[in-house]
Amino acid sequence: MSILIDADTRVLVQGITGREGSFHTREMLAYGADVVAGVTPGKGGQRVEGVPVFDHVEVVLENMDVDASVIFVPATHAMDAILEAADAEIPLITCVTEGIPLWEMLRAVCYLQDKPVRLVGPNCPGAITPGVTKVGIMPGHIHLPGNVGVVSRSGTLTYEIVWSLTRADLGQSTCVGIGGDPVVGTSFVDILGLFEEDSQTEAVVLIGEIGGQAEQRAAEFVQAEMSKPVVAFIAGRTAPAGQRMGHAGAIISGEGGRAEQKIAALRAAGALVAEQPAQVSEFLYEAMG
């Protein structure tokens, strides 16, 4: 098994005719993803990498079934793309776009609460089930099929740690980037819950960073609900207060946002917390016996 996406996931690409959309459509197809359609208003009737393009999501759904949408629309129009996919009730919506204003994401999250959909992102790399399929921009060649689930706020740090897992022969069940913005559609807790229920996943790697209290909430869930071992890494131990470090959400601006506070919470919950990315593999072997 896996979480969120599998071999049967039919993917729609919103913004498929743009530079990023067309490039990553090609990469997803090459990895084995079933990309069934694309959407760019005014470009209906075209094809990108053999994939038919439509003007609107609603028209796509009139012609075929879709399980997941991935959004490569610029920030100025990304909110419209999210709401259009939500109104079409596409079960999984992944927004790769960064730079969406905070107030727009607050509006989107509230709007989606009453919809039977899950939003991953924005400002995220998406998800990959190694050896099977991917939705988003994660590089497929660094992944290895296996039984370690990975959830992260940081895209590039995910790649570094995943590559170290692969080199240590620790394959992954599914890797999910939830996004580094202050407001995202899917949380650490949401993904931890899915990994806890997934029969393939035997252990979980959680990759966090400074800012906010998402890691503390994850620690509470780990202590109360997780039976599987969790290994964590928190980036930004030396970051000064008030300075953004990479992501919009990676800024210490209040209580609980410092790396040491997150590390303490996770350790108190029973997670093993690595001090360096390379230690994650060592801790996993320890935790999994």
Q: Which of these, 120, 91, 96, lies nearest to 108 by C-alpha position?
A: 120
Contacts of residue 249, Cβ cutoff 8 Å, sequence gap at least 6: 153, 180, 181, 182, 209, 211, 212
Please list the active-site residues.
247
Contacts of residue 66, Cβ cutoff 8 Å, sequence gap at least 6: 10, 11, 12, 36, 37, 60, 88, 90
Q: Which of these, 213, 204, 221, lies nearest to 3 by C-alpha position?
A: 204
Asked whether the beta carbons of 171 and 159 are under 8 A apart, the reply is no
Alpha carbons 36 and 217: distance in angstroms, whole number = 37
